[in-house]
Structure 1
Amino acid sequence: MNWEQLLSLKRYGDINKRLRKEQDETRLGFEVDYDRIIFSSEFRSLQDKTQVIPLSQTDFVHTRLTHSLEVSVVGRTLGRKVGAKLIEKYPHLQTIHGYQANDFGAIVAAAALAHDIGNPPFGHSGEKAIGEFFKTGQGLQYKSQLTAKEYQDLCDFEGNANGFKIVTESRSGKEGGLRLSYATLGAFTKYPKESLPKKPTSHIADKKYGFFQSEKNLFLDVATELGLLKTGSKTDCSFARHPLTYLVEAADDICYTIIDFEDGINLGLIQEEFALEYLINLVKHSINSKKYHKLSTTQDRVSYLRALAINTLIQEAVEIFLDHEEDILNNNFSTGLLDKSKYEAQINDIINISIKNVYKSQEVIDKEIVGYKVISTLLDVYSAAVINKSLNQASNYDALLLKSIPELNFSESNSTYQKLLGVCHYVSLLSDSQAILKFKKIQGISL
């Protein structure tokens, strides 16, 4: 792969090539991507979606919105630092094409901002609830009407693929969705493959999938424009990652490792003395002991260590990327950047404590149970209404539901797959509170 192609400014529907040297320096195309994402309704709904603690009423606990903003800030720094070195290494990118170091930062920042935009209500348990509805729940009855890959899309409903759908899906009067640059779409796609075959290799790009069958042709256009290396067989759609995806992933890894841990401390789920020791192990070479001991509150001490930890891991991720840049371009780098970190042991210690004390805390488990019930009920009722209508068997109740939700009034030309995926997509766009509100209405619970 080569950086000239990978930094493509092309957008959906473009006829003429967009050249970097012709860009308005006051508002670059890659910065337009960021603006379009942050002003989208789908991004705004992340303010009421779970990051770690579902339905938390505590104001200092992160939502998907605050998490995404933080990942974007870290991603911008990663991109700029890498970009500065790549411009030095490949000066023609600047002298001939006009690219600047900040372009790399803008691409990574935009992709990182959108990285969770496709997550359904209630966090990762929401994804699992959708998948299990089709694997073992009422959705299993539709299996015979779907191809293997269509059915797998639903059984392993993936927030990353749903995110690609959100930012690219055409609607009436809105062709190409947000019409992001192909460079940003490439960096956004952590898993540039379809849902089958599952995990064909141990390469990190094959861990999950990144687009539904409904967006397959569009992704093929993106991959071709960017010059992504094809890795799948003739019958399977799979590509190498866009190199900047590794930086988007590293930004996410840094933030959830450190900041979820911080949330656990502030919630009292992780003992302060125990937790601070783990953070200090990560930043012991950069800590200012005199300054640290002047801090009088838990929150101030944790904030100081968090800032040092994030900076330490940013520097580490940049060094690893640059050391392995040619391997990444040739698809010979098969792990996440931080998997190669000299701080891997410290990172794993922090993650393991978070898993034990936060992700598997009773509060999280209890609220995930609620999420499963809410999502399975919504899928059951909405899917039945949509399919019954297509069979001319809609009940009065089905008709009332569809009348109240225009988004579920699909064209008769839509396939069963498109209708079922459309239902999943609609439910995925609901915030946690909206999902509970609709569940209560369906259950006849007074509001």
Structure 2
Amino acid sequence: MKWEQLLSLKRYGDTNKRLRKDQDETRLGFEVDYDRIIFSSAFRSLQDKTQVIPLSKTSFVHTRLTHSLEVSVVGRSLGRVVGKKILEKHPYLQEEHGYQVNDFGAIVAVASLAHDIGNPPFGHSGEKAIGEYFKTGAGKQYKSSLTPKEYQDLIDFEGNANGFKIVTESREGVEGGLRLSYATLGAFTKYPKESLPKKPTKEIAHKKFGYFQSERSFFEDVAAEVGLIKRKIEDEYTYCRHPLAFLVEAADDICYTIIDFEDGINLGLIEEEYALEYLINLVKGAINTAKYNSLSSTADRLSYLRALAINTLIQEAASVFIANEEKILSGEFHQALIEKSRYEAQIEDILQLSRDKIYQSQEVIEKEIAGYEILATLLDRYCTAATHYHTGASSNYDKLILKSEEGNFDYKNENLYTRLISISNYVASLTDGNALLKYQKIRGLKV
């Protein structure tokens, strides 16, 4: 892969090539991408979507919105650190094409900002709830009418693929969705493959999938433009990651490792003094002992250690990337950057404590259970009403359901897969609170 291709400024529908050296330095194309994400309704909805604790009313607990903003900040720093090294190593990118250090930071920042934009309500259990409706719930009736890939899209409903759909899907009067640059879309797609074959290798890029069948042709256009390497696996084609996707992943890994841990401490799920020891083990080589000992409150000590930990991991991830740049460009690097880190053991200790004390806490489990019931109910009402619309068996109840959601999903489409993925996309777009409210109204619990 070549950097001059990977950093493409092309947008959907462009007829002329966008050159970096011709860009207005006061409003670069990659910065326009950032603005388009920030002002999108899909991004704003993240303020009421779960990061760790579903439906939490605790003000200091992160939502998907605050998490995404923090990942973006870390991603920007990572991109700039790496960009500086890349331009030093490949000066022609700056001299001939006009690329600057901040371009790398801007691309990684916007892809990081959008990385959770497709996640359903109620955290990762939301993805599972949608998938299980089609796999083991009432939605399994549609299997025989779908292709294997279409059905796999539904039973393994994936927030990353849904995010790609959100930022690229054309609507009436809005062609190409948000029309982000192809460099940004490439960096955004951490898993550049279809839902099948499922996890064909142990490569990190095959852990999940990055686009639904409905967006396949769009992604293939992006991949061709930025020059992603195409490979055949199990008689199907998959792609190597855009190099900057590794930085987006690292920014997310850094934030959820440190910030989720901090949320667990603030919620009282992890003992403060015990938790501080874990962070100290991660950054003990960088601690200013005199400054640390001068901090009188646990909150200040935690803040100090968090800042040190994030900076330490940014520098480490950037170093791993630069050391493996040639492998990454040739599609031969198959791990998350943090997995190659010298701090991998300390990070795993923190993650294991988070899994034990936070992700499996009673509050999380109880509210995830509620999420399954809420999303399954909404999916069933919408899918049933849409099916009855096409078979001519609509009850008055079905008509009321569709009337109440007019324009929110494409229930009139003749293609079954298009209808089902549209309904799933809509349910996934709901906030935690909005999904709960719709469920209460449908069940007659609130009028």
Interval containing the TM-score (normalised by the shorter chain): over 0.9
Give the Cα separation in 1 of the matches to 2:446 and 2:414.
35
Q: Aligned with 1:354: secondary structure?
A: helix
Q: Say which is worse superposed, 403-412 or 38-47, in terms of deviation.
A: 403-412
The verdict on how the C-alpha distance between 1:279 and 1:234 changes in structure 2, with shifts beyond 3 A counting, is closer
1:160 counterpart residue number: 160
1:272 aligns with 2:272: yes
Q: Does the 8 Å contact 1:168/1:178 carry over to 2?
A: yes
Confirm whether residue 314 of structure 1 aligns to residue 314 of structure 2: yes
Are the aligned partners of 1:264 and 1:354 in contact in 2 as well (CA < 8 Å)? yes
Cα distance per residue 1:405-446 (max 9 Å; x no partner): 123563644410010111100100000000000000000013
Alignment of 1:181-260 (within 5 A): 181-233=181-233, 236-260=236-260
Q: Please state how far the C-alpha of 1:295 moved relative to its aligned partner.
A: 1.6
Q: How does 1:19-168 map to 2 (within 5 A)?
A: 19-168=19-168
In terms of mean alpha carbon deviation, does 383-392 or 48-57 score higher?
383-392
1:283-342 CA deviation, whole Å, 9 max, x = no partner?
101111111122222221111100000000000000000000000001111100010010
| Equivalent runs, 1:273-352 vs 2, <5 Å | 273-352=273-352
One-letter amino acid of the structure 1 residue matched with residue 66 of structure 2: T
Letter in 2 for 1:149: K
Alpha-carbon spacing, 1:137–1:411, altered in 2? closer, same or farther (3 Å): closer
Contact 2:378–2:439 (8 Å) recurs in 1? yes
Q: For the structure 1 residues 237 and 393, does the alpha-carbon distance in structure 2 shift closer, same or farther, using more than 3 Å as the test?
A: farther
8 A Cα contact 2:411 2:423, kept in partner: no
Q: 1:234 to 1:357 in 2, by over 3 A?
A: closer
Indicate how the Cα distance of structure 1 residues 290 and 221 shifts in structure 2: closer, same or farther if over 3 A, else same: same
AA at the equivalent of 2:18: R
Q: Residue 84 of structure 1 contacts residue 101 of structure 1 at CA under 8 Å; is this kept in 2? A: yes
Q: Is the partner of 1:406 in helix, strand or coil? A: coil
Structure 1: any 5+ residue segments left out of the alignment?
A: none
In 2, Cα distance between equivalents of 1:198 and 1:234: 10
SS of the residue aligned with 1:237?
Answer: strand
- 149-158 or 394-403: which moved more? 394-403
- Structure 1: distance between partners of 2:96 and 2:358: 51
CA contact (8 A) 1:130 1:157 kept: yes
TM-score for both structures, normalised by structure 2: 0.99
Q: Which residue of 1 aligns with 2:437?
A: 437
- Alpha-carbon distance, 1:237 to partner: 3.4
Q: Secondary structure at the match of 1:407?
A: coil
Amino acid of the structure 2 residue aligned with 1:428: A
1: CA distance between counterparts of 2:38 and 2:409?
28
Q: Is this contact kept in 2: 1:402–1:409, CA < 8 A?
A: no
- What SS class does the counterpart of residue 238 from structure 1 fall into? strand
| Counterpart contact for 2:12–2:179, Cα < 8 Å | yes
Displaced runs of 4 or more, over 3 A: 411-414
Question: Which residue of the partner structure matches residue 425 of structure 2?
Answer: 425
Counterpart residue type for residue 271 of structure 2? Q
Aligned partner of residue 105 in structure 1, secondary structure: helix
Amino acid paired to 1:193 = K
Alpha carbons 2:409, 2:419 under 8 Å: kept: no
Aligned partners of 1:24 and 1:33: how far apart in 2?
14
CA contact (8 A) 2:386 2:411 kept: no
Contact 1:402 1:408 in 2 (8 A): no
- For normalisation by structure 1, the TM-score amounts to 0.99
Q: Distance in 2 between matches of 1:290 and 1:426?
A: 53
2:362 & 2:71 partners in 1: Cα distance? 27
What do the CA deviations read for 1:179-237 (whole angstroms, capped 9, x no partner)?
00000000000000000000111110011100000000000000000110002349523
CA RMSD of aligned residues (A): 1.0
